[in-house]
Amino acid sequence: MIPPPAFLFLAVLLFGLGVLAFFVKKDLLTQFMAVEIMLNAGNLAFLSLAKAFGRAEGQALVLFVITVAAAEAVVGLAIIVVVFRQRRSLRTDELKDLKG
Amino acid sequence: MAEAFWLIPLIPGAGALVLLLFGSRMPRRWVSWQSTLAVLASFVLSAAGFARLVRAGPDAPALAKTLLPWIASGSFVAEFAFSFDRLSAVMALVVTGVGLLIHVYSVGYMAGDKAYARYFAYLNLFMFFMLVLVTASDIVLMFIGWEGVGLCSYLLIGFWFDRPAAAKAGLKAFVVNRVGDAAFIVGLLFLLTAVGDPSFAAINAAPAAGLVGPGLATLAAVLLFVGATGKSAQIPLYVWLPDAMEGPTPVSALIHAATMVTAGVYMVSRLGGLFAASPAASAVVAWTGGLTAVFAATVALVQTDIKRVLAYSTISQIGYMFLGCGVGACAAGMFHLFTHAFFKSLLFLAAGSVIHALGGEQDMRRMGGLRKRLPVTFPAFLVGAMAIAGVPFLSGFFSKDAILTSAFAGGHYVLYGLGLAGAVLTAFYVFRMVFLTFYGEPRAAGAHPRVRESPPVMTVPLVILAALSALAGLAGLPVLLGGRADLFGRFLEGVVVRTAHRLAASSEVLLILAAAASALAGIYLAFVFYRGSPALPARSAARFPRLYRLLTGKYYVDEAYEAAIVRPLVRGAELVYRRFDLEVVDGALNASAAAARGAGQGLNTVQSGLLRDYALAFLLGVVIFLGALLL
Amino acid sequence: MAWAVFIVLSVLCVGAVAAMIVSRNQAHNALFLVLAFASLGGLFGLLDAPFAAAVQVLVYAGAIMVLFLFAIMMFNLRRPAPREKKTLRAALAAGLGTVLFVELVLAARKALAGSVPTGAPGGIEGLGRLLFTDYLYAFEITSLLILAALVGALALAGKKEDA
């Protein structure tokens, strides 16, 4: 029986690594992967809290997060494909079209 | 089948929905059948409900059905609830019966119109709202119907909206009705705050239960009645109805003669308990009705447009109905509503047939001599004219007599005199119309060489309505002929308030003779003026030039309203527009736009376009937010 | 035994993410991510959430990662991503990230303060009951969301007729 705080700490660690990866990496695709890691860290936190409080709501929310993440991945990748078709590049330091 | 009475409004409603959505793509034949059958279904259901009520006896409760909860706010609850009692049954039968005939007639009348489906969609929609109005079991739902018929009236008056006069008339009807409806809403709110329950039963019982004091009862009743003067075209808000004649003639017959404009009478009868609790409000109703009856009749004397004569005649006849309700004889008022629905829609439809045959001509000065040319329309029009004039033994005779007798019996002698005078005028202007239109020589010789009778789809409804106009009076024979004679009054016994006054048989005979004499006198005068000596009308106009101008100018009420209300309003609005809209509102808008532009230019430098910078800002936000949560 | 599994899985997971940060080959990154997700699935199982574990493996390690790999194949980036330079921005991000990490740890402690160690949070049956009662609307709306995402992705990435 592993205490839930251990899982929660692991979740926080993963989230931090995800943030780090997002800022360290410079290609859109890997940054997108980092976002997925953060989402998963959130899931892990939900589940460990569900365990800690003995309630199933956390598990239900995880399912919703996974669904939303799947939808987000599909649309996000589609956007990335479009960006790549137009720029032949995925480097975020080269994509400056949002400049005001 | 009677249990399904709540479908009575819903069937035409569904029909209207289908026609509005898909009507323009449907074949005309389908549109005609669908809309007419929907009304027929409602008519059959109404008849079934009526039969049920007759069989169940006078003490049986009304049919009731609650469809959905609607507003539930604290202790106040309004529902989509329908009820079908004897009053609703009479109204539903009149509305669906006349409506059915007018749908059939319209198939012929509108055959050449390009917006055929739109016309029938509106007509079905009108039936829906009108039937909601008469079968609603509480006043809030009735108000939906009340507003809905106003909307349909607006849509149908302005049906030919490419004609500026029609569009303007529709607008006028809408705006004038708004004035009345504003008063109606205020009255409604007064009532609801005091009673707390919108159902008619609760409102009618409230004065007796002490929930509504005499002062409040008068206030609320008068305010509601102001709403009724708008919808039912009474003084002072009648001005829209004559202009409403810009709509198609069947619409004038259905909405602006037989059904919608009588909604006010229905409302007053429905809230009989409230009006009975306030003698002052009842007096207002009676006097408004009586004065309108005479006033509109005098204007009708000199109008030359056949439909406008009928419009003023409608205003005047509704005045009679209110007169009846005001003197405590709602049954008599409802009876007149019942017979009036038949003979007035008959007159309108026959006039429509004349207009149709003459290719759109509405001016009676260019008609004449149509008696032989229109072998079905003429007798039908004549029956309608005799019925409204009150020729003995036709329907109008009995219903008008019932009202006048009640007024006399209640001691309202001045009102009785007004009514009798109105009756003479009515007979006069109606037969003036008959003589000008159908007798004499065709005055526009050569202009209408091929005048032909309308097709059967138009004449058959005329014949049916003529039969009803002649015979409907038998439903309410004078009490003189025995207590059981007044079938109509006894049918409504338990539902509407009725102040029973008994007259001696001899005085009742005298009253009936007076009514008959007034009708015949009016007809005789018309004959003298328009058949006897054709020069007489012009001579009398020359003899009393001021009176004549006053009448042809319709007492200059429109001009007075224009000067006293419309123009100051427009001028005030212009002032507000110039001072407030242009300077304050626009100024504030421009200032805020300039501020936003400046801020945008300032913040522009922050936008590097780099994803990482945005993410950094985002991270900073999360850190601050989480920190705030933790602290 | 459970501790051993936990330690192995967490090390795998954290290691995979760390490797992803270091590696500059996108295909490798994607494979590391699969590893991370799979081990997370195992951790979910340890937390008495077998259904979430199964979905995690199916959806993340299966579907989403296949999607990523397809995308990478489409891009066919020959040159690896350039080496990252350390800038002021990176330092700022590192600082903020550290603050965030501390805050998250504090938040986690606060969240756990009121917890009562009761048994399992209820099996799949309880989860299903919850999804189809309290969360029914949310559940139905997610189906709409997926449909919208599908249509949106097609509209975005589908071949244009004029392209």
Choose the closest CB to B619 out of C93, C106, C110. Answer: C93
Residues of C in contact with B617 (CB under 8 A): none
Q: Looking at per-residue confidence, does B320 or A28 come out higher?
A: B320
Residues of A in contact with B616 (CB under 8 A): 23
Going by pLDDT thresholds of 50, 70 and 90, the confidence category of residue B339 is: very high
**A-chain residue closest to C50, CA distance:** A59
Residues of A in contact with B617 (CB under 8 A): none
pLDDT, mean over chain B: 87
Cβ contacts of B500 within 8 Å, gap of 6 or more = none
Residue B290 is predicted with a pLDDT of: 93
DSSP string, C38-49: HHHHHHHHHTT-
Residues of C in contact with A64 (CB under 8 A): 135, 138-139, 142
Residues of C in contact with A26 (CB under 8 A): 81-82, 84
Residue B485 is predicted with a pLDDT of: 65
* Residue located via tokens 């072998």: B375
Residue pair A68/C60 in contact by the 8 Å Cβ criterion: no
Q: What is the pLDDT of residues B107-131, one digit of tens each?
A: 988 888 888 999 999 999 999 999 9
Q: What DSSP element (H or E) covers B292? A: helix B279-300
pLDDT at residue B539 tops 60: yes
Q: How far is CA B257 from CA B127, B263, B383, in A?
A: 14, 11, 17
Please tell me if residue A92 touches chain B, with a CB cutoff of 8 Å.
yes
Q: What is the pLDDT of residues A41-90, one digit of tens each?
A: 999 999 988 888 888 888 899 999 999 999 999 999 888 888 888 877 77
Q: What is the pLDDT of residues B554-608, one digit of tens each?
A: 778 888 888 888 888 888 888 888 888 888 888 888 889 999 888 888 877 777 7
Residue count of chain B, please give it: 631
Choose the closest CB to B615 out of A23, A98, A100. Answer: A23
* Residue located via tokens 């009420």: B557
Residue C76 is predicted with a pLDDT of: 66
Per the CB < 8 Å rule, is A78 touching C156?
Answer: yes
Residue C77 is predicted with a pLDDT of: 62
Q: What is the pLDDT of residues C125-137, one digit of tens each?
A: 888 888 888 888 8
Q: Token pair for residue B527?
A: 């004959």
How far apart are alpha carbons B200 and B191 in whole angstroms?
11
Interface residues on B facing A, Cβ-Cβ cutoff 8 A = 603-612, 614-616, 619
| Contacting partners of chain B (3+ CB pairs under 8 A) | A, C
User: Does CATH number 1.10.4030.10 belong to domain C1-77?
Assistant: no
ipTM of the complex, rounded to two decimals: 0.88
How far apart are alpha carbons B595 and B585 in whole angstroms?
15
**A-chain residue closest to B611, CA distance:** A92
Per the CB < 8 Å rule, is B609 touching A22?
Answer: no
* Residue located via tokens 């020069």: B535
Residue pair B116/B28 in contact by the 8 Å Cβ criterion: yes
How far apart are alpha carbons B236 and B233 in whole angstroms?
8
**B-chain residue closest to C95, CA distance:** B620
Number of neighbouring beta carbons within 10 Å of residue C102:
16
Residue count of chain A, please give it: 100
Tell which residue, A100, B626, B217, B313, has the closest CA to residue C103: B626
Per the CB < 8 Å rule, is C100 touching B629?
Answer: no
Residue B346 is predicted with a pLDDT of: 93
How far apart are alpha carbons B438 and B452 in whole angstroms?
14
For the ranges B80-84, C18-22, C25-29, C55-59, the lowest mean pLDDT is seen at C25-29
Residue B538 has, within 13 A of its CA and on its CB side, a CA count of: 4
Q: Is B611 exposed, middle or buried (0-12, 13-18, 19+ CB in 10 A)?
A: middle
Interface residues on B facing C, Cβ-Cβ cutoff 8 A = 612-613, 616, 619-620, 622-623, 626-627, 629-630
Q: What is the pLDDT of residues B478-528, one digit of tens each?
A: 766 666 667 787 788 777 766 666 777 788 888 889 989 999 999 998 888
Choose the closest CB to A92 out of B605, B606, B610. Answer: B610
Q: Is B372 exposed, middle or buried (0-12, 13-18, 19+ CB in 10 A)?
A: exposed
Q: How far is CA B624 from CA A24, A38, A39, B615, C99, in A?
A: 22, 19, 20, 14, 10
How far apart are alpha carbons B543 and B520 in whole angstroms?
25
pLDDT at residue C122 tops 70: no
Choose the closest CB to A57 out of C18, C93, C130. Answer: C130
The single-letter code of the amino acid at C96 is L
Please tell me if residue A21 touches chain C, with a CB cutoff of 8 Å.
yes
The Cα of A43 is separated from the nearest Cα of chain C by a number of Å equal to 9
Three-state secondary-structure class, residue B231: helix
Per the CB < 8 Å rule, is A93 touching B610?
Answer: yes
Choose the closest CB to C121 out of A9, A20, A55. Answer: A55
pLDDT at residue B534 tops 80: no
Choose the closest CB to B616 out of C89, C104, C106. Answer: C89
Per the CB < 8 Å rule, is C74 touching A81?
Answer: yes
Residues of C in contact with A30 (CB under 8 A): 20, 26, 29, 81
Residues of C in contact with A70 (CB under 8 A): 59, 63-64, 146, 149
pTM recorded for the entire structure: 0.69
Tell which residue, B198, B223, B336, B337, has the closest CA to residue B280: B223
Which of B174-183, B442-451, B571-580, B594-603 is predicted most confidently?
B174-183
Q: Token pair for residue B519?
A: 């009708």
Mean pLDDT along residues B462-466: 93
Q: Token pair for residue C20?
A: 């992803």
The Cα of B592 is separated from the nearest Cα of chain A by a number of Å equal to 21
Choose the closest CB to A22 out of B604, B608, B615. Answer: B615
pLDDT at residue A98 tops 70: no
pLDDT at residue C163 tops 70: no
Q: What is the pLDDT of residues B263-279, one digit of tens each?
A: 999 999 999 888 888 88
pLDDT at residue B97 tops 50: yes
3-state helix, strand, coil in chain A (%, to 5): 80, 0, 20
Q: Does a cis peptide bond (omega within 30 degrees of 0) precede residue B236?
A: yes
Please tell me if residue A80 touches chain B, with a CB cutoff of 8 Å.
no
Residue B445 is predicted with a pLDDT of: 52
Going by pLDDT thresholds of 50, 70 and 90, the confidence category of residue A99 is: low
3-state helix, strand, coil in chain B (%, to 5): 75, 5, 20
pLDDT at residue A100 tops 60: no
Per the CB < 8 Å rule, is A66 touching C81?
Answer: no
The single-letter code of the amino acid at A35 is V
Residue B285 is predicted with a pLDDT of: 93
Q: Where are the alpha helices (DSSP H) in chain C?
A: 2-22, 26-46, 50-55, 65-75, 88-112, 124-132, 136-157
How distant is the alpha carbon of residue C157 from its chain centre?
23
For the ranges A94-98, B11-15, B349-353, the lowest mean pLDDT is seen at A94-98
Going by pLDDT thresholds of 50, 70 and 90, the confidence category of residue A37 is: very high
**C-chain residue closest to B622, CA distance:** C100
DSSP string, B107-167: HHHTTT-TTHHHHHHHHHHHHHHHHHHHHBSBHHHHHHHHHHHHHHHHHHHTSSTTSHHHH
pLDDT, mean over chain A: 86
How far apart are alpha carbons C84 and C97 in whole angstroms?
18
The Cα of A34 is separated from the nearest Cα of chain B by a number of Å equal to 12
Per the CB < 8 Å rule, is C106 touching B619?
Answer: no
Q: Domains (ranges, CATH) in chain A?
A: 4-98 (1.10.287.3510)
Q: Looking at per-residue confidence, does B185 or B58 come out higher?
A: B185
**A-chain residue closest to C17, CA distance:** A17
Q: Is B408 exposed, middle or buried (0-12, 13-18, 19+ CB in 10 A)?
A: buried
Mean pLDDT along residues C29-47: 90
Residues of C in contact with B629 (CB under 8 A): 107
pLDDT at residue B99 tops 50: yes
Choose the closest CB to C100 out of B612, B613, B619. Answer: B619
Per the CB < 8 Å rule, is C145 touching A75?
Answer: no
Per the CB < 8 Å rule, is B626 touching C104?
Answer: yes
| Contacting partners of chain C (3+ CB pairs under 8 A) | A, B
Per the CB < 8 Å rule, is A95 touching B619?
Answer: no
Residues of B in contact with A32 (CB under 8 A): none
